[in-house]
Structure 1
Amino acid sequence: MSDKINESRKRPSKRFTLGRQAFVKISEIEGFKMSPTMEAEFQEFDKKGLSAEERRRAIARKFRRSTD
């Protein structure tokens, strides 16, 4: 991580990752609620121990458009 100074705000900017529970809370405030199917899929990802990249690929495969 770098501590780059944001010139407009003059403070260090750092990256961080939200956990699922924090993401769910923020999403609910914005009016988005995970469906039971989505919750089950994420639980399955946890059970399988998938990395972030493997999770992204699985989600992309699910929603990929067919070229038929």
Structure 2
Amino acid sequence: MIMTFKIYLYLYFFNFFFMILFYKSKVYNNILFIIVWGKPGVNIDNAKTNKKYNIKIRKWLNEKYKLII
């Protein structure tokens, strides 16, 4: 529990660096921001993000993990 919390904090504070590293990877970027912020598509590239793609991720998460975003 403590370990996962540490990883969560690490992602929360260093998401900007991850965002730059994986800037071109939309899949990783969206999933990372769902984990960190709970909202898909909240990133530097927000204006260009594909809204349909975010809806697909939401549906997939809802089916697989029963998460309602």
Structure of larger gyration radius: 1
Q: Same fold (TM over 0.5)?
A: no
> Greater helix percent: which structure?
2
TM-score (normalizing by structure 1): 0.31
The higher relative CO (CA closer than 8 Å, separation ≥ 6) is in: 2
